[in-house]
Structure 1
């Protein structure tokens, strides 16, 4: 079954029975979309994703690099490991610290 999740992404070939899967359940995605690298996957159905951003320092008229690291829900139908680049999208809160879901492996 092909489901439109709101953005143009490749559908996973595997199927799953996860209730928080954007492709095989009824969870809705809305809000921001980010691309980052998986840093850790030691948690059950959760990975840590990190990406760099540049912040301008007006006083010195220079930029500095900063990193953002968040916890993201990982569904069984999208197999990922540390070092993979992924696209994540915002959803309703899944737990105390998870508000994003992996939608595509890049």
Structure 2
């Protein structure tokens, strides 16, 4: 049986962490609690028998106790839908970005 981790939000509602985990770079800080995380992946083209580089972008929830900047490497995990476009939450900061 899979084990679910729980993360408590400011309003006291639990966020069950389940699903996939990704590591990416913060490219945009939309508001106080939302960041855009981007990572690259290789996609195989059967016709040309080659790989092409593609990128994935998702919006993630930034808890109050985590400080990130644009350019920071973060680890995110899937959770229940927090808003219309947010389905991920930041777990930890792996590398600090620029302080601008």
Task: Tell me the TM-score range normalised by the shorter chain.
Answer: 0.7 to 0.9
> Counterpart of 2:89?
101
Measure the CA separation in 1 of the matches of 2:26 and 2:49: 32
Q: CA deviation at 1:37?
A: 0.2
The alignment covers a number of residue pairs equal to: 90
Q: Does the 8 A contact of 2:25 with 2:38 survive in 1?
A: yes
Question: In the alignment, does 2:70 pair up with 1:82?
Answer: yes
Q: Does the 8 A contact of 2:34 with 2:62 survive in 1?
A: yes
> Counterpart of 1:55?
43
Measure the CA separation in 1 of the matches of 2:40 and 2:51: 12
Q: Secondary structure at the residue paired with 2:59?
A: strand
* Moved segments of 4+, more than 3 Å: none
Given the two structures, how large is their TM-score scaled by the length of structure 1?
0.77
Measure the CA separation in 1 of the matches of 2:43 and 2:9: 41
Q: CA deviation at 1:42?
A: 3.0
Given the two structures, how large is their TM-score scaled by the length of structure 2?
0.82
Over 3 Å counting, the alpha-carbon distance change for 1:17 and 1:71 in structure 2 is closer
Map 1:24-63 onto structure 2 (within 5 A).
26-63=14-51
Structure 2 residue runs without a partner (length 5+): 95-100
